[in-house]
């Protein structure tokens, strides 16, 4: 096996994940999903609300709802510095569904930036726990 990636996912509140992985998939602002594996060239990008996946050496996956921030890749290390992030195991699914419903209702009445942001966050949470959002 090639050298593994060293991965850190950090929010202002805490370190959510630190370990080795074979791949990380996340979503950049305006760039879509991007995958990083060992040997990836240096990269710096802004993140949008998304379901980030960290593929561990044992084949399991750590699912994380990431809400903004940055991803930096350098010398087989992926650092995700998020404005807010949540491990899928810590997400309250019913609360996320309610938040999605509220945001969709708000968008029917007014298409303001806060409603769009709330819907994006709810969708990232639901996707991270394996719930279809469309």
**Confidence band of 134 (pLDDT split at 50, 70, 90):** low
Check whether 133 has a pLDDT greater than 70: no
- 5-88: CATH architecture: Sandwich (2.60)
Check whether 123 has a pLDDT greater than 80: no
Specify the pairing of strand 77-87 against strand 61-74. antiparallel
Contacts of 38 (CB under 8 A, 6+ apart): 2, 3, 4, 5, 22, 76
* pTM for this predicted structure: 0.82
Residues of the chain with CATH 2.60.15.10: 5-88
pLDDT of 25-63, one tens digit each? 999 998 889 999 999 999 999 999 999 999 999 999 999
pLDDT of 103-120, one tens digit each? 888 778 776 787 777 778
**Cα pseudo-dihedral 72, 127, 49, 36, rounded to 10:** 20
């Amino acid at each position: 096996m090639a050298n593994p990636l060293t991965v850190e996912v950090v929010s202002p509140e805490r370190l959510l994940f630190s370990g080795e992985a074979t791949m990380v998939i996340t979503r950049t602002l305006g760039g879509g999903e991007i995958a990083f594996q060992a040997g990836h060239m240096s990269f710096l990008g802004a993140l949008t609300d998304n379901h980030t996946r960290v593929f561990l050496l044992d084949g399991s996956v750590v699912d994380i709802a990431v809400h903004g921030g940055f991803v930096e890749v350098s010398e087989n290390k992926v650092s995700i510095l998020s404005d807010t992030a949540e491990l899928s195991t810590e997400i309250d699914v019913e609360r996320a569904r309610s938040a999605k419903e509220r945001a969709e209702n708000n968008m029917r009445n007014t298409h303001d930036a806060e409603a769009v942001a709330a819907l994006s966050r709810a969708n990232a949470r639901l996707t991270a726990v394996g719930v279809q959002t469309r």
